[in-house]
Amino acid sequence: MYQIELKNVSFVYGAGEPYEIRALDNINLHLGGSVMTGFMGHTGSGKSTLVQLLNGILKPTSGQVLLDGKDIWEDPKKIRDIRFRVGVVMQYPEYQLFDETVRDDIAFGPKNMGLSKEEIEQRVIDAVHFAGLDESLLDKSPFELSGGQKRRAALAGVIAMRPEILVLDEPAAGLDPGGRREILGRIREFQRSSGTSVIIVSHSMEDMAMYCDRIIVMSAGKVAMDGTCSEVFGRYNELLDVGLDVPQITYVADELRKHGIDIGADIYTVKYAASQILSKIGGRQI
């Protein structure tokens, strides 16, 4: 099982300049195992910075990033291999599209890996299906796609590299609710079927509750909380303190409890709430 470990990692933007910004402050984390890990945190809390440290886009100002126990910066010349193993879909990835056709653009990563033509072709097709893009779009220019389609094409571009660990920075931001569920559902499915570790950044409490096994809350460059959904959402006063929230349905359950209808603790998804309510009123289970 692939493991990423952050050891005393700090990152400072513009170190030594008049306006240096300490984006990450002494982070210690074990990421890995066959789980979906979600990162939450208010704007500017350092999530994107952390994500870019995982595949060596940024180099820690101090501390180490270990992949399977080896410092990824041990041999800076080999950092490209790390990037093939840890696939990162950056925030707003639609701006990275450049090639003449969507097909060529998705093939950019696999081509850089030096794969054979047939292999690349196969991977492009698979990735396109994964991202829920229509195959007919493959020969269009990426600039003719809609915003959501661009997002999917960019996602496919990283999926096509078949990374061992997949990291996604707000993959669903700006998608319609249907597309959002579809993409996140597929990522979750991919995580389960491949048994790898997927790391996802999101601002949506609902998405976090629905898809993640582990939630890490960042605040001002530090890890504020780290645990399962119920462990994190159970501390919701603290969540409010760091500018976050709990899923809406948790408030509903809370209100119900105040009115004497206790449907149990740990209500974070609508689905679970519905089944609890149904069992309470003696209806059929869903």
Partner 1 sequence: MNLDISFGQYCEGNSILHRMDPRAKIIAAIMYIVAVFLAKNLYAFALLLLSAIFLIAVSGIPLRIVLKSMKPLVIILLFTAVINIFWMEGETLLVSLGFIQIYLEGIINAILIAVRIIILLVGTTIFMTFTTTPIALTDGLEQLLSPLKKIGLPVHEFSMMMTIALRFIPTLTEETQKIMNAQKARGADFSTGSLLQRAKALVPILVPLFVSAFRRADELATAMECRCYTGGDGRTRMNVLHAGAMDYVFCILVIALGAGILVLNQFGGYMLSW
Ligand X SMILES: Nc1ncnc2c1ncn2[C@@H]1O[C@H](COP(=O)(O)OP(=O)(O)OP(=O)(O)O)[C@@H](O)[C@H]1O
- Burial status of residue 89 (CB atoms within 10 A of its CB: 0-12, 13-18, 19 or more): buried
- DSSP code string of 147-192: HHHHHHHHHHHHHTT--SEEEEESTTTTS-HHHHHHHHHHHHHHHH
**Residue 214 contacts by C-beta under 8 Å, 6 or more apart in sequence?**
35, 36, 37, 38, 226, 227, 228
Give the number of other CB atoms < 10 A from CB of residue 141.
14
* Sole window of 10-18, 84-92, 180-188, 238-246 interacting with Mg ion (rule: CB under 5 A): 84-92
> Where in 78-107 is the site for partner 1 (CB under 8 A)?
80, 83-84, 87-90, 92-93, 95-99
Cα 267 from Cα 13, distance rounded (Å) = 39
**CB 50 to ligand X: min, Å:** 7
Which does residue 17 bind out of partner 1, Mg ion, ligand X, none, counting CB within 5 to 8 angstroms by kind? partner 1
Cα 35 from Cα 131, distance rounded (Å) = 20
If the CB atoms of residues 105 and 170 are measured against ligand X, the closer one turns out to be: 170
Which does residue 45 bind out of Mg ion, partner 1, ligand X, none, counting CB within 5 to 8 angstroms by kind? ligand X
Q: What angle do CA 100, 101, 104 make, to 5 degrees?
A: 95
- DSSP code string of 257-278: HHTT----S---SHHHHHHHHH
Of 66, 87, 60, residue with least CA distance to 194: 87
Which does residue 103 bind out of Mg ion, ligand X, partner 1, none, counting CB within 5 to 8 angstroms by kind? none
Kindly state whether residue 91 participates in binding Mg ion, applying the rule CB under 5 A: yes
* Sole window of 14-22, 86-94, 138-146, 159-167 interacting with Mg ion (rule: CB under 5 A): 86-94
**CB 227 to ligand X: min, Å:** 19
Between the two ends of the chain, the Cα-to-Cα distance in Å is 34
Kindly state whether residue 43 participates in binding partner 1, applying the rule CB under 8 A: no
If the CB atoms of residues 54 and 124 are measured against ligand X, the closer one turns out to be: 54
Kindly state whether residue 61 participates in binding partner 1, applying the rule CB under 8 A: no
If the CB atoms of residues 123 and 214 are measured against partner 1, the closer one turns out to be: 123
Chain contacts with partner 1 (rule: CB under 8 A): 17-18, 52, 55, 57, 80, 83-84, 87-90, 92-93, 95-99, 108-109, 112-113, 143, 157-158, 161
Chain contacts with Mg ion (rule: CB under 5 A): 48, 91
